[in-house]
Amino acid sequence: MTGVPAVSEPVPGPATGRSGGPRHVAIIMDGNGRWAKKRLLPRIAGHRAGAEALRRTIRGAGQLGIEVLTLYAFSSENWRRPASEIADLMGLLRHYIRAEIAEIAAAGIRLRIIGDYRRFEPDVVTLIDDAVAKTAGNTGTTLVIALNYGAQDEIVRAVRGIVADGLAPADIDTAAIGARLDTSDLPPLDLLIRTSGERRLSNFLLWQAAYAELLFVDTLWPDFDAATLATAVQDFATRERRYGGL
């Protein structure tokens, strides 16, 4: 990005979602492999079940009035997985976009992508670009999919943008960095959920999570559904968010 002015960082405030709950919810979708292993199934079966959970969760987010739903689908570290599994994931991504984009568009959902997804095969990139363009004018829930995303890389790219823009050191503040992040035009992150019992962020939305509420649930991602999301939102509503104050 170029020519982005450094402005005062807005102070985070309480959630103002349509339902009174969080405006922006993010989920680390974890546990597909363990779900499959428990059932003596191949890992791809877990990923396919995870795609069904994705469908349920997107629908639930709309029902709960969540403005932005951000999902960690493929991290920059996932390239370390076996080539066969990566090929299966890319095939599933192709299938999901082709099968779901019409319904997503009809539901008024706006699709956004964060991360360097252009590293994927050209046909996958084309499918993604077409899907984003098809939903660009929608005004319902914004569905943000993180593809080939890593938060540390995102911050590095933001810093490079600051250098390229020639900002003086005195003009570099949190707003200058935030304006150059992939999520710069989205509401602040309110709630970050990780499934499968793991208790780490795994290089996901590190900057954005500074004042987000964190929730770690034991549910494996393929078992996640609208009711699980609603329970998470209810938990969020019980928390007092002070942002460093009293």
Residue 184 among known ligand-binding residues:
no
For residue 11, what pLDDT is reported? 39
Containing domain of residue 74, as a range?
A: 28-237
For residue 48, what pLDDT is reported? 95
CATH number at residue 167: 3.40.1180.10
For residue 20, what pLDDT is reported? 58
For residue 1, what pLDDT is reported? 33
- Tens-place pLDDT, residues 75-108: 999 999 999 999 999 999 999 999 999 999 999 9
DSSP assignment, residue 126? H
Question: Is residue 185 annotated as part of the catalytic site, yes or no?
Answer: no
**199 assigned to some structural domain:** yes
**Helix 83-106 and helix 43-63, axial crossing angle in degrees, nearest 10:** 30
Q: Which of 30, 148, 182, 190 is catalytic?
A: 30
For residue 196, what pLDDT is reported? 97
Question: Is residue 30 annotated as part of the catalytic site, yes or no?
Answer: yes
**14 assigned to some structural domain:** no
Give me the number of domains the chain comprises: 1
For residue 220, what pLDDT is reported? 98
Residue 43 among known ligand-binding residues:
yes
User: Nearest Cα to 220, choosing from 198, 200, 191?
Assistant: 198
Residue 35 among known ligand-binding residues:
yes
**142 assigned to some structural domain:** yes
Establish how many alpha carbons lie within 13 A of residue 23's alpha carbon, considering only the half-sphere containing its beta carbon. Answer: 10
CA dihedral 30, 114, 211, 50 (to 10 degrees): -20
Q: Which of 78, 153, 171, 223 is catalytic?
A: 78
- Tens-place pLDDT, residues 114-142: 999 999 999 999 999 999 999 999 999 99
Residues of the chain with pLDDT under 50: 1-19
For residue 66, what pLDDT is reported? 97
Residue 79 among known ligand-binding residues:
yes
User: Nearest Cα to 182, choosing from 113, 86, 130?
Assistant: 113
Residue 81 among known ligand-binding residues:
yes
For residue 241, what pLDDT is reported? 86
**9 assigned to some structural domain:** no
**93 assigned to some structural domain:** yes
**10 assigned to some structural domain:** no
